[in-house]
Amino acid sequence: MVMDSAKARRKIESTQDLPTLPTVIGKILDMANSPMTNAADIGRVIEQDQALTAKVLKLVNSAYYGFPGQIRSVQHAIVILGFNKVKTIALAASVFDLSKGRDSNLLDLPAFWEHSLGTALAAKVVATKLGTALQPEDAFVGGLIHDLGKLILALCLPKEYGDVFEWLLANPSTIRKAEREVLGFDHAQVGDWIAEKWRLPMELRNASRLHHSPTQARDDREMVFCVHMGDILARGFGIGSPGDAMMEEVNLQSWQHFNLDVPFLDDVSGLLITEMKKAGDFFDLIAQSR
């Protein structure tokens, strides 16, 4: 049964099952926009959360970043790796915990997070290869949260979202089409609602809302396209599970807009394989967040 999207949003945002980002992440994101912020300030905020600090230090000392010495404090990590990378690590460590202690008979949650991480890694390598002003770490975050709407629907509207999967069984299609047929809106819109509620930057809202329709992006086109490509690459490589088996095609207009070719795709695929081999500690976080 098609739902009124405004009522659905109010229902989702008022439910006790709605996941929330830790307070420390909100502080970090706010500080990121302040020119007065320095490494010591941000380090102190992260270090207020001992569990988050331990995860951040484990990741900054992992093979993924390949720093030869031991990084022993968050502030040192920020000096060595830069604020943007440490912010990305902290956000990743927190996002995986959004479903901790929860279960869903609609989504395989570990596989869902593996797909999200795979999309993040792929979006990062696409951004790196594009060579635009978009920071690869920002593309990583966009990929990481691109499907949050699915998680929110599965946890907050399980009965209604269950109807979506029932429809899919009888009508093989993309989950996005099923959502629109059954609910009247899709997970991309829900992801935008949550990103707005969490006061995430507009480029992340756009990545969530438009990753299936990148030509609709008026702003942040590089971000949206990188996440769009990252999602398709993660599906193509079989990284985790986004909840459905139907794979969308690369948006041709966006592909042409960036003047891309087959060698570009080959290079990106090679880079993604390399990233995957180094990202074991990130995947370990998913297992630990169950």
Question: Tell me, what CATH number does 193's domain have?
Answer: 1.10.3210.10
Same domain as 290, residue 205: yes
DSSP state of 70: P
Domain contains 9: no
Name every residue whose Cβ is closer than 8 Å to that of residue 127 and which is 6 or more positions away in sequence: 134, 135, 136, 138, 139, 222, 226
Domain contains 68: yes
How far is residue 211's CA from residue 115's CA, in Å, rounded to a whole number?
14
Count of the separate structural domains present in the chain: 2
- Domain residues for 79? 18-101
State pTM to two decimals: 0.94
Task: Identify the pLDDT of residue 84.
Answer: 87
* Helix ranges restricted to H, 237-261: 252-257
User: What is the rounded average pLDDT of the residues 234-243?
Assistant: 94
What counts of helices (H) and strands (E) characterise the chain? 17, 0
Domain contains 5: no
Same domain as 235, residue 249: yes
Q: pLDDT higher for 37 or 209?
A: 209
Task: Convert the pLDDT of each residue in 188-201 to its tens digit.
Answer: 999 999 999 998 99
Domain contains 72: yes
Same domain as 290, residue 262: yes
